[in-house]
Amino acid sequence: MAANFTKRTISSSARSINGWFDHVKPAPKDPIVGVSEAFLADPSPNKINLGVGAYRDEEGKPVVLQCVRDAEANIAGCEFIESSSASVSSKFVEESLKLVYGKDSNVIAEGRFAGVQALSGTGACRLFAEFQKHFYPKSQIYLPDPTWSNHYNIWREACVPQRTFHYYHPDSKGLNFAALIDDVKNAPVGSFFLLHPCAHNPTGVDPTEEQWREISFFLKVKNHFPFFDVAYQGFASGDLEVDAKAIQIFLEDGHLIGCAQSFAKNMGLYGHRVGCLSVLCSDTKQAVAIKSQLQQIARAMYGSPPVHGVLLVSKILTDQHIKSLWLREVKVMFNRIQNIRTALRASLENLDSPLNWEHITNQVGMFCFSGLTPDQVHQLAREFHIYMTSDGRISLAGVTYDNVSYLANAIHQVTSSAQETLNISWSP
């Protein structure tokens, strides 16, 4: 009797265990991952991947910068011990902050910042989102429309309510500035606003310096908290100081701000996950308290970040010879992207395209927000083996002088056929 009861119990338990995860369904594919998978599965020799937002050289290949090679060689002979990791991270944070707040910033000299190493820009954003949820549980985050798709995931997973504010104007393919300011004015006092200080992803549309000053002013009036995601510093102008101007405007206006930095793009360290999160504070006492809270949140999420990448970045930022080399290489990457912008626009205009392509060269950074519709994007993939996200964002790093004419011709064909259909539908 006892044996039968035991068998029945085990059998029932086994059925229960086997059903534990039957309700779990596949997650929606990340738009960029989906583009890469479709590209890899396509056997066409003419295929082009315009989805990934990481730099590629003229041959379309990933690049290891010479400054990274030099830093690698420099640290290869060093004997790293665990006890020195805190000092390395501390120096890394301080040098990272100089890039965005200015090397002579009083904030750094006075120690009025809470800064921690993070798992690239994504990890820095997530860490701040968790901090926001912990200490402002009734707050919400305002995200630009559009923004990097992962921003929505990050703040959603931190259980922070999201709103959007106007940013891009699809007709002008530029900044919808008046609507942006209205949204800042109408948001509840003390809201959090996420801002791209340069090379906006995905649009490539940045405010002018004067517009940044107005944005700063109205955020200050409403006591909003500005949080900057700095993913592409150097790619908007080729100059890291120029690309940090927006942040320094807010600093001059007396804002307390947050900042997520990534070295994935401007140092080509995508796989190393090196980033920094900083929060500017009223005084050193507040800075110590906030840093301790950020460290505690990070400890519960991932313990501590890896050390190799931060050693590379620290060496690049502290060795003047290697840093000078890095700044020159950033300029080289910027120039290649700018030249491709010019070539793509010229190629389309030489085809007598009926559309205006000025926005290709008006926009900045790694991306061109082309204005292509989802149907046109799908047509490009289906008929021409050209892959990009459905919003029409073109990663210009994937364009080379060898494929720019092919790309322009394909865009011309899909946009011209759409224009002809539009004309026919409107003909009397």
For 50-63, the pLDDT digits (tens) are 998 889 999 888 99
Q: Sign of the CA dihedral 337, 387, 174, 213?
A: negative
**Res 83: pLDDT:** 44
Q: What pLDDT does 422 receive?
A: 39
Low-confidence ranges of the chain (pLDDT < 70): 1-17, 77-88, 418-428
What is the pLDDT at residue 82? 52
pLDDT tens-digit profile of 362-411? 999 999 999 999 999 999 999 999 999 999 999 999 999 999 999 999 99
pLDDT value of residue 78: 67
- Distance separating alpha carbons of residues 284 and 111, to the nearest angstrom: 6
Q: Is 199 left (phi over 0), alpha (psi -120 to 50) or beta?
A: left
Residue from 39, 113, 42, 67 nearest 333 by CA: 67
pLDDT recorded at residue 305: 85
**Is residue 85 exposed (0-12), middle (13-18) or buried (19+ Cβ within 10 Å)?**
middle
Q: So what's the pLDDT on residue 141?
A: 98
Cis peptide before 62 (omega within 30 of 0): no
Give residue 77's pLDDT. Answer: 64
At residue 6, the pLDDT reads 53
Whether the CA torsion 287, 289, 293, 296 is positive or negative: it is positive
In degrees and rounded to multiples of 5, residue 62 shows phi and psi of -60, 150
pTM of the model as a whole: 0.91
For the chain, give the longest Cα–Cα distance. Answer: 89
* Residue 158, phi-psi category: left (phi > 0), alpha (psi -120 to 50), beta (remainder): alpha
Alpha-carbon distances of 328 from 5, 14, 94, 323, 334, rounded to whole Å: 76, 63, 22, 9, 10
Residue 347 contacts residue 408 (beta carbons within 8 Å): yes
Q: Give the residue numbers marked as catalytic.
A: 148, 229, 265
Q: What pLDDT is attached to residue 318?
A: 95
List phi, psi (to 5°) of 364.
Answer: -130, 165
In Å, how far from its chain's centre is CA 30?
14
Residues in the chain: 428
CB 152 within 8 A of CB 162: yes
Given this model, what pLDDT does residue 426 score? Answer: 36
CA–CA separation, 7 vs 203, rounded Å? Answer: 63
